[in-house]
Amino acid sequence: MENICKKVINIAQEAGNFIRTERKSFDSGNVETKGVHDYVSYVDKRAEDIIIEKLGLLLPEAGFIAEEGTGSKKEGGLNWVIDPLDGTTNFIHGMPPFSVSIGLIDGKEMMLGVVYEVNLDECFYSWKDAHAYLNGEKIRVSDAKRVSDSLIATGFPYTEFKRMKPFLKSFQYFMENSHGLRRLGSAAVDLSYVACGRFDAFYEYGLSPWDVAAGAFIVKQAGGKISDFSGGDGFLFGGELIASNGFVYDEFKADVERFMKAD
């Protein structure tokens, strides 16, 4: 798995280099709308083509769960979970962060994760039974003990506004009771920043598997905890996720659950 992970890092960086180069001459006239506030460009699609072509050669038996729809999923076996450009809105507006996110699952088990943040040239990665790394250096989650000592990341939904009221109430609570709230614009980067201790905690709903597969795995390998808002393991396909270091997890999860599961 280590060897495969090293090759996936090269593939993520190749796609990231393409994205960086295209950004220099990117014209916002090239943006297409997939849904409400949901944008895509030839850069997302071409990056996905690059990734899928290379991953197909690396593990011909694996299927694909990829945001722009290339390839098909294999039931029960190995599948790559790919977001070729996480943070498209940031990319379109010419601001960091944006990233390439590639995970590998075997059935339900995560085997490896690679998140390459293009602007800072930072590659976060881990494979099964290994530490988590940032550009070759071991990383660990923070040791903040309480929500009141934590910097918290989140993301705002683009389309699903039904849960807006409890979500806004949770913002007020965390603004008043933590070091602050941040919305960077790439869930894969939010998770990677939890893994290396820049953020202490992250929560968001309305997420897709490709936003979280690689990053959630890297958080776990860096000593953190991941769950859905109820503490269960439905974070990959269930659209909602909590990530934090192990100390702050119980308190943070109880806070998120109190707001987001109240009706």
Under rule CB under 6 A, residue 68 binds ligand IPD: no
Give dist(CA 14, CA 10) in Å, integer.
6
Residues within window 183-212 making contact with ligand IPD, judged by CB under 6 A: 185-187, 204, 206-207, 211
Query: What secondary structure does DSSP assign to 147-187, as a single string?
Result: GGG-EEEE---SS--TTHHHHHHHHHHHHHHSSEEE--S-H
185: partner contacted, choices Ca ion, ligand IPD, none (Cβ within 5-8 A by kind): ligand IPD
How far apart CA 228 and CA 239 sit, in angstroms, is 8
Q: How many DSSP H helices and E strands does the chain contain?
A: 7, 14
In the complex with Ca ion, which residue's Cβ is closer, 52 or 144? Answer: 52
By beta-carbon proximity to ligand IPD, the closer residue of 187 and 219 is 187
Binding partner selected for residue 207 from ligand IPD, Ca ion, none, CB under the kind-specific 5 to 8 Å limit: ligand IPD
Map the footprint of ligand IPD across residues 159-188, applying CB under 6 A. Answer: 185-187
The DSSP H or E segment spanning 16 is helix 2-24
> Which residue number has the CB closest to ligand IPD?
155
Residue 48 interacting with Ca ion (CB under 5 A): no
- 256 binding partner (options Ca ion, ligand IPD, none; Cβ < 5 to 8 Å by kind): none
β-sheet bridge partners, residue 227: 242
Q: Which does 200 bind (CB under 5 to 8 A by kind): Ca ion, ligand IPD, none?
A: none
**Shortest distance, CB of residue 241 to Ca ion, whole angstroms?**
13
Nearest to 122 by CA among 182, 186, 181: 186
Say if CB 94 and CB 23 are below 8 A apart.
yes
Can you list the alpha helix ranges (DSSP code H) found in 59-163?
Answer: 88-93
**What crossing angle do the helices spanning 209-221 and 187-195 adopt, rounded to 10°?**
0
Extract the tokens encoding 6.
């090293």
**Which residue type does 153 have?**
A
Could you say whether residue 224 binds ligand IPD (CB under 6 A)? no
Chain positions 63 to 92 lying near Ca ion, rule: CB under 5 A, are 67, 83, 85-86
Interface residues with Ca ion (CB under 5 A) are 67, 83, 85-86, 211
Could you list the residues that contact ligand IPD (CB under 6 A)?
83, 86-89, 155, 158, 185-187, 204, 206-207, 211
